[in-house]
């Protein structure tokens, strides 16, 4: 069976080159604000789902929490494992497959690390695994792009030069997905990768969460936790609890 786009792209070294300028200060601000809102106990166990190279998990662990990061990318997990300690662990794992059960106080799925799959059932199954991993009163934080704003202000073409590589990026909206195509040449070879993310909006998440046994209790629109506005907010941040 051919690999999905996310299996190819997230394991590519070029993924990390293109996104190397991600703002760690912004990520830490978000975690600080989330912790201020969620008020986790010092003995809380946390799961970072689709953790990438672990920047959120590592920062949570610096706050002395017990954190486990999982990601489909072997390359990302191998990089993150150099930071492991007795309260920080990283594992290669597909979010759609069952993990620990009734174990974590908080689960995080951050920086639009969802919406990758073709079928609604796959997204529901993923959310069900998120729910099952949580303790009875556990909390899930899902940080997604605000697809409405992106579509309203779609940047159809742009060019980025990083590490002597010129990335040509195009975007389109098709079949309920925001599709980004990344073309570039390196060492006399041409590469093309795609990112295909569902243009889920709040009402879509309300349906998906309901079908997955989760209840949305709060939404925010940015990393400072301002209210969500579908036309103005940069992010759609959803706080969920297990349904009773």
Per-residue pLDDT reduced to its tens digit, 142-178: 999 999 999 999 999 999 999 999 999 999 999 999 9
Question: What's the distance, CA 11 to chain centroid?
Answer: 15
Per-residue pLDDT reduced to its tens digit, 6-56: 889 988 999 989 987 777 888 899 999 999 999 999 999 999 999 999 999
pLDDT the model gives residue 126:
97
Residue in the structure block whose two tokens are 């990112």: 195
Task: Output the pTM of the full model.
Answer: 0.93
Considering only CA atoms, which of 194, 162, 223 is closest in space to residue 16?
A: 162
Cα distances from 26 to residues 33, 36, 45, 55, 95, in angstroms, run: 11, 15, 23, 11, 25
**Residue 193 and residue 180 in contact, taking contact as beta carbons nearer than 8 Å:** no
Residue in the structure block whose two tokens are 């070879």: 189
């Amino acid at each position: 069976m051919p690999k999905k786009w996310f299996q190819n792209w997230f394991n590519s070294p070029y993924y990390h080159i293109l996104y190397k300028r991600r703002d760690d200060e912004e990520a830490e601000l978000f975690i600080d604000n989330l912790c201020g809102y969620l008020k986790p106990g010092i003995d809380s166990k946390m799961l970072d789902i689709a953790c990438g190279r672990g920047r959120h998990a590592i920062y949570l662990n610096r706050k002395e929490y017990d954190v486990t990061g999982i990601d489909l990318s072997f390359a990302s997990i191998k990089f993150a494992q150099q930071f492991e300690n007795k309260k920080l662990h990283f594992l290669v794992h597909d979010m759609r497959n069952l993990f620990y059960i009734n174990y974590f106080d908080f689960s995080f799925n951050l920086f639009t690390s969802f919406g990758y799959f073709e079928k609604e059932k796959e997204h529901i199954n993923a959310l069900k695994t998120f729910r099952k991993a949580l303790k009875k009163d556990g909390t899930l934080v899902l940080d997604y792009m605000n697809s409405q704003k992106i579509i309203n202000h779609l940047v159809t073409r742009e060019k980025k030069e990083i590490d002597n590589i010129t990335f040509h990026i195009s975007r389109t909206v098709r079949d309920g997905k925001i599709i980004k195509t990344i073309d570039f040449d390196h060492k006399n070879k041409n590469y093309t990768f795609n990112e295909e993310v569902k243009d889920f909006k709040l009402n879509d998440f309300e349906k998906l969460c309901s079908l997955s046994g989760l209840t949305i209790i709060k939404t925010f629109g940015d990393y400072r936790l301002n209210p969500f506005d579908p036309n103005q907010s940069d992010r759609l941040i959803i706080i969920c609890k297990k349904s009773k």
